[in-house]
């Protein structure tokens, strides 16, 4: 079932979500300071290609001081906007019965959009 969900997700928007993340990540990587943030953005892009059957996993050092600082900077500069986009997409998709599974996948991406350092979708 997750394979079919991932195929439908990819065809009807997952590719464009990934493309937006990757282009934004590459733009962030243009500066030395933005490279860690750009890599997280690219990681989110590839995670958004096939979210069905996966869950958010916290790494062993997810709450280290450096990652907490990076997550705080990310949340203030980029994360809140990305999380708001996923949340609004989830609300829009949840208005129809057919869109509810896809809305749940957008809701799954909200914690990753807010705090990507030390977390991933597996």
What are the extents of the domains in the chain? 2-121
DSSP H helices in 29-99: 35-47, 65-74, 80-94
pLDDT at 100: 95
> Which residue in 84, 85, 79, 86 sits closest to 105, CA to CA?
86
> Which residue in 53, 43, 45 sits closest to 4, CA to CA?
53
pLDDT at 1: 78
> Which residue in 119, 105, 113 sits closest to 2, CA to CA?
105
Give CA–CA dist 72/79, Å, rounded.
Answer: 9
pLDDT tens for each residue of the chain, 122 residues long: 799 999 999 999 999 999 999 999 999 999 999 999 999 999 999 999 999 999 999 998 899 999 999 999 999 999 999 999 999 999 999 999 999 999 999 999 999 999 999 999 88
């Amino acid at each position: 079932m997750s394979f079919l969900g991932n195929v439908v997700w990819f065809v009807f928007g997952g590719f464009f979500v990934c493309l937006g993340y990757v282009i934004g990540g590459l733009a962030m990587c243009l500066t030395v300071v933005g490279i860690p943030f750009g890599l997280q953005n690219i990681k989110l892009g590839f995670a958004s290609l096939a979210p069905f059957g996966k869950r958010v996993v916290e790494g062993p050092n997810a709450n280290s001081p450096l990652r907490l600082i990076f997550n705080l900077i990310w949340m203030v500069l980029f994360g809140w906007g990305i999380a708001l986009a996923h949340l609004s997409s989830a609300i829009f998709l949840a208005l129809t019965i057919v869109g509810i599974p896809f809305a749940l996948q957008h809701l799954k991406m909200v914690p990753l959009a807010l705090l990507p350092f030390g977390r991933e979708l597996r």
